A and B are shown apart, each in its own frame.
Chain A
Amino acid sequence: MKKNSEVQALRQLGGLTSTRVAELLAQNGPNVLTPPKETPEIIKFLKEMVGGFSSLLWAGAVLCFIAYLIEFSKDKSASMDNVYLGVVLIVVVILTGIFAYYQEAKSTNIIASFTKMIPRKAFVIRDGEKREIPAEQLVVGDIVEIKGGDQIPADIRILASHGCKVDNSSLTGESEPQSRTCHITHENPLETKNISFYSTTCLEGTATGMVINTGDRTIIGRIALLASSVGHEKTPIAIEIEHFVHIVAGVAVSIGIMFFIIAICMKYRVLDAIIFLIGIILANVPEGLVAAVTVSLSLTAKRMAKKNCLVKNLEAVETLGSTSIICSDKTGTLTQNRMTVAHLWFDNQVYQADTSEDQKDQIFDQSSATWASLSKIVTLCNRAEFAPSQESVPIMKKVVMGDASEAALLKFSEVIMGDVIERRKRNRKVAEIPFNSFNKFQLSIHETEDPDDKRFLLVMKGAPERIMEKCSTIMMHGQEQPLDESTAAAFQTAYMELGSLGERVLGFCHLYLPEDEFPDTYSFDVESMNFPTSDLCFVGLISLIDPPRSTVPDAVMKCRSAGIKVIMVTGDHPITAKAIARSVGIISANSETVEEIAKRLKIPVEQVNKREAKAAVVSGMELKEMSPEELDELLTYHTEIVFARTSPQQKLIIVEGCQRQDAVVAVTGDGVNDSPALKKADIGIAMGCVGSDAAKNAADMVLLDDNFSSIVTGIEEGRLIFDNLKKIIAFTLTKNIAELIPFLIFIIAGVPLPIGTMAILFIDLGTDVIPSIALAYEKAESDIMSRKPRHKKKDRLANHQLALYSYLQIGILQSVGGFFAYFTVYAVQGFKPDRLLYLRPLWENDSLNDLEDSYGQEWTKYQRKYLECTGYTAYFVAVMVQQIADVIIRKTRINSIFRQGLFRNKYIWVGIASQIIIAVILSCGFGSIPILNFTTLRVQYWFAAVPYAIVIWLYDELRKLLIRLYPGSWWDKTMYY
């Protein structure tokens, strides 16, 4: 009543006048968040077109046109091949760009934007009257009224409150309702109870407050600005691809220049030499790789989405795989995000309750009479109720109206005893005092269900020490006993023990009111408390905890064996945090904190050698005192770290600390205030269920089920795709050499060109595409979760071993096979290899229509051209056949193919079939289209390169065998990629 009068008084003040409002509005602007600078779609689209590989292809396309122009200026009838190639390159870039853009757009659209959070209307007192205005028009100094269900329209300072509770989860991620009063409880505006923040929700009660910040100056506005100012930089895979492009470009340019010089020395014309240079660079561009990599990444993204990891940015797929530190939230991610009964104490004994997700196996002793009484109190002294019409929903999934602890107790009793509501009906409630922070207990008085028993039952629950104060007896095995020293001591021990587990402990007591003093007509008055609240009978303790998700301990173990450090960062109390950390294995069973060592050795904390302690629990206060060097030290020397009572701002500091260790950091978060940390992290993971939109906006990945173990699955996928990308790149690079060598031999030895541009394009963008994508489906060779995360600076995607092995060994072998096929088809038609050497000037002479072959036969230009195309086809088929061997050997990098299983990855066979089918179609079907330069090849020449394919396969098996036999040897270091 008093509070209501305060509100009245405030109303009397009348609030701001319209003129003042107009002034302030002009001065500070409307109460809206400046939307984050949205990159225009077209820019996003263009970005996809120029990054990484694409730039290589663009350069290639430009070179093509330059080459054509040079040739054209020389000879008007220059071959259009280079133009076609240029056009194809551009088409490839644009298509892959569109594909990547589409992929990104699809995942981004799911994430709603900030604007959703803006409250629409507000009740404000202006000019002495209450009116409803759009929230944008609020100004500093306005008096606003809020009630349950409203969103807070601006940052406000509470002037009067009536049972006001707010949900700050959109800001902090902690969904526990927090009460709001007009008292200052903390210096920190984020902690104090008299400030309520923009975009949070008022759950219940009413309040009146004064606007203190609007728009971008609100806490949430500042965070949004901070989040948008933290740069979004290159992902590890983008860096790897850049590195790869450097390798390819380096090889291309150096070979190109080398042969430019050679060509000049061989007295070729400079113009010809330039065309050769361009040709060599072009032959090195892996046209199909961009597509293959994009497709593989999106396949993995799809697979991850199925496992509840929604990836916003394709490249984040791999980033997750190289993660070396995970900074995880506790609530909701590691835990189930609901209070659950964990332990019970009655009859002087601690019982454990089942805290798993379904709580089916409650194994504690339910035969004791004390349990009967305790269960009655639990059931009756509880205001929580199931929301209506959810009969078919399993108990654990039912929505409960009421606070978290009460809901936990309601579900607990529902599971054990069945219909709670029915039981409450049988024991009609006649009076009730709800829990408040002053009393620290909750009390209700009921009629008993026994019709003969006319006594009233008074039940009470609350903070254990408060309950204990009110009791004079204690129930043991159903019998009331006086509370003596020893039982009090036992109570204390149990209370401390449960408390030390980080659990919220509640005490329960009851009293049967004597029938003579309280007849059934007695009128209970909760204001005057005309009933006893002391000398009650203590029944037991129940402790509650937000239990870990059952899959989490396994997932943490997996992380540990995968060399990933899991750091818990929570706003919770250190004791609770530590208890959860222990139960999920973030702090393993046998490791101790400095404090624990001190306790065990009975020495002061300062004397403990900090290096001995593997675990550390650091509170936000301690973190505040730390210098960056100290934080570095902490992160280096402790493998198991829990940060408790941290403010979301400190999360950013922790992330930065981890990144200073060269770690790839994954951070989970759900609140708006997590968004800077999410952005800063190498991979930000937002929670799909409880996460705020801002967090989802800032994150690279959204965890649909909020479950930590999904992250681990994601990591596994990320690591797998990294390995598979290596295989894809190795596969793709190999035939680049087989496409390049012909050109070099053409320049040096003057033979007719062994393979034409079109055939090269048909390898890169035809036969090789599906097999390379199929490699993305390859299963892991060994347990990828048992090795250390890759070092982002040392373990490269395309390392020099890979380049050397692909380019200088398998690539050269393929060229040899190709040349064998080429020489064969020329020889059987009359041109023996010795005749071909230095034949080029004559061969390409358009006005020579009687060129002699080895047998003295004479060939017209067209007949030679046709034979040349047959040569292209033979070389093309030879490369295709050897690429079949290549795709098979690339299935594994260290294991034998037979161990991996030839048939486990069906897609490889689809790929191989596609290679053969495309080649057959090209050779037989399109042989008549002159522009494609393919001819029909005799059946036996399809097999010309088969021995080389077998050699490739055998050689690679030998390589793998030696690597397995001599790990760490010179061979291993040189040949393992």
Chain B
Amino acid sequence: MAALQEKKTCSQRMEEFRHYCWNPDTGQMLGRTLSKWVWISLYYVAFYVVMSGLFALAIYTLMWTIDPYTPDYQDQLKSPGVTLRPDVYGERGLQIFYNVSDNTSWKDLTQTLHTFLSAYSPEAQEENINCSSGQYFIQKEFHAPNHTKFSCKFTADMLQNCSGLTDHNFGFEEGKPCFIIKMNRIVNFLPSNNNTAPRVDCTFLEKDHKDFKPLEVDYYPSNGTFSLHYFPYYGKKAQPHYSNPLVAAKFLNIPKNKEVIIVCKIIAENVSFDNPHDPYEGKVEFKLKIQK
């Protein structure tokens, strides 16, 4: 087959390119005359305007069909996630390492807890009502002001020793630290079907710590339960002031100078903690190392 391509020198190519950018003979810039460019630009502007219009219309219709209070599907949020405060992440997940004698090493941790609990001050919870029923707080109607539903108060003092009010250092100083466990919100989620409140249960991860004594924990509120009157959650629009109930766990017998793994599970009928893919579903695992 034949020589179809004659070899071009670099300057020829540059010249060709210049000619392409501006062709003085035909008045073409980049292969089109100015008026052609205007036309084609106008066409594309019109095309995109129409298309954006179509897209906007489609999104508008989508939003219009969507329930403002409840998501259409919750199949991907079947079981709530669990989070821990303070939350310091290392290479693999949560790891909280500190030195009892070095207060700079835990100052940040307690500061995190203080910041987190500031949302649970009486002032912040002012809009919410006091609840003590211990039963699901089912609200079919919107009786609260501005067409909303009531939310129950959860204030920091309910965490007693771990509230940061009595012990400003949350026990970190004496090597018996408090950790706050929070269950994620899911709209209309009921933790159990039989009025049993979900309970936090923290243990050493068994397989690693067979030789230790069982973990001794003080839970606040007592029993480490999330009271049922915080459930169900009706969503941001219905309960704008809702705040998650919390459970604090104070670990009493952490071996010193040793890295331990602790897992806190939520024990409830509708909460699963055995999803192999999701380490934060229904449980939270963290490494703890207290040096002395």
Contact = CB atoms under 8 A, between A and B. Distances in A.
A392 B124 CA distance: 109
Chain B CB count within 10 A is highest, among A231, A313, A813, A862, for: A862
Given A816-B54, A820-B59, A856 B185 contact: yes
A850 interface: yes
Contact of A235 (B1, B54, B71, B72): B1
B18 interface: no
Given A820-B58, A856-B185, A862-B279, A681 B51 contact: no
A856 B233 contact: yes
Interface stretch (B80-88, B132-140, B218-226): B80-88
Contacts of A863: 76-77, 81, 278, 281
Interface in B39-94: 39-40, 43-44, 47-48, 51, 54-55, 58-59, 62-63, 66, 69-74, 76-77, 80-83, 87, 89, 91, 94
Interface in A823-865: 823-824, 827-830, 832-833, 846-847, 849-850, 852-863
Contact of B2 (A665, A812, A830, A854): A665
A724 B87 CA distance: 60
Contact of A854 (B94, B236, B278): B236
B3 A231 contact: yes
A396 to B, nearest CB: 37
Interface in A629-675: 655, 659, 665
Interface string A790-823: 0010000000100000001100110010011001
B292 interface: no
A861 B94 CA distance: 13
Contacts of B59: 820, 823, 833
Contact of B1 (A77, A684, A857, A970): A684
A2 interface: no
B193 interface: no
Interface in A583-633: none
Contacts of A820: 55, 58-59, 62
Contacts of B5: 233-234, 239
A177 B51 CA distance: 75
B96 interface: no
A595 to B, nearest CB: 33
B44 to A, nearest CB: 7
B47 A828 contact: no
A833 to B, nearest CB: 6
A823 B4 contact: no
A655 to B, nearest CB: 8
B70 A832 contact: no
A830 B1 contact: no
A956 to B, nearest CB: 13
A974 interface: yes
Contacts of A659: 2
Nearest to B78: A863
Nearest to B233: A856
Interface string A226-243: 000001111110010000
A792 B6 CA distance: 14
Contacts of B149: none
Interface string B169-206: 00000000000001011110000000000000000000
B31 interface: yes
Pick the most buried of B31, B54, B281: most chain A CB atoms within 10 A of its CB.
Answer: B54
Nearest to A831: B71
Contacts of A713: none
A813 B44 CA distance: 12
A923 to B, nearest CB: 15
B2 A681 contact: yes
Given A860-B278, A860-B280, A829 B89 contact: no
B154 interface: no
B187 A233 contact: no
Contact of B242 (A832, A856, A970): A856
A683 interface: yes
A830 B68 CA distance: 10
A546 interface: no
A800 B80 CA distance: 53
Contacts of A680: 2
Interface residues on B, range: 35 or more
Given A665-B2, A800-B31, A856-B242, A862 B281 contact: yes
Interface string B207-249: 0000000000000000000000000010111010010000000
8 contacts: A239-B4, A809-B47, A833-B63, A849-B82, A855-B69, A855-B187, A858-B81, A930-B277
Contacts, number: 149
Contacts of A48: none
A856 B182 contact: no
Contacts of B43: 974
A355 B19 CA distance: 59
Contacts of B77: 829-830, 857, 859, 863
A829 B76 contact: yes
B236 A233 contact: no
A877 interface: no
Interface string A937-964: 0100000000100010000000000000
A870 interface: yes
B142 to A, nearest CB: 16
A749 B280 CA distance: 28
A480 B275 CA distance: 116
A683 to B, nearest CB: 7
Nearest to A864: B76
Interface centre among B40, B62, B242 (most CB of A within 10 A): B62
Contact of A859 (B44, B81, B236): B81
A830 B71 contact: yes
B277 A808 contact: no
B153 to A, nearest CB: 17
Contacts of B72: 827-829
Contacts of A970: 36, 39
Nearest to A936: B75
Contacts of B51: 812-813, 816
B48 A234 contact: no
Interface in B125-181: none
A846 to B, nearest CB: 7
Contacts of A261: none
Contact of B73 (A665, A828, A858): A828
Given A234-B5, A680-B2, A855-B237, 9 more contacts: A816-B54, A830-B77, A847-B87, A856-B233, A856-B242, A857-B74, A862-B280, A930-B277, A974-B40
Interface string B21-32: 000000000010
A236 B281 CA distance: 60
Contact of B235 (A683, A800, A855): A855
A679 B2 CA distance: 7
A849 B3 contact: no
A682 B2 CA distance: 5
Contacts of A655: 2
A847 B73 contact: no
A850 B81 contact: yes
Among B36, B43, B72, B81, the most chain A Cβ lie within 10 Å of the Cβ of B81
Contact of B280 (A700, A861, A930, A938): A861
Contact of B4 (A792, A812, A846, A853): A792
Contacts of B187: 830, 855-857
B67 to A, nearest CB: 9
B1 A683 contact: yes
B71 A816 contact: no
A855 B40 CA distance: 44
A316 interface: yes
A827 B64 CA distance: 11
Among A700, A819, A824, residue most surrounded by chain B Cβ atoms (within 10 Å): A824
A947 B233 CA distance: 36
Nearest to A858: B184
Contact of B184 (A682, A808, A832, A850): A850
A827 B61 CA distance: 12
Interface in B1-23: 1-5
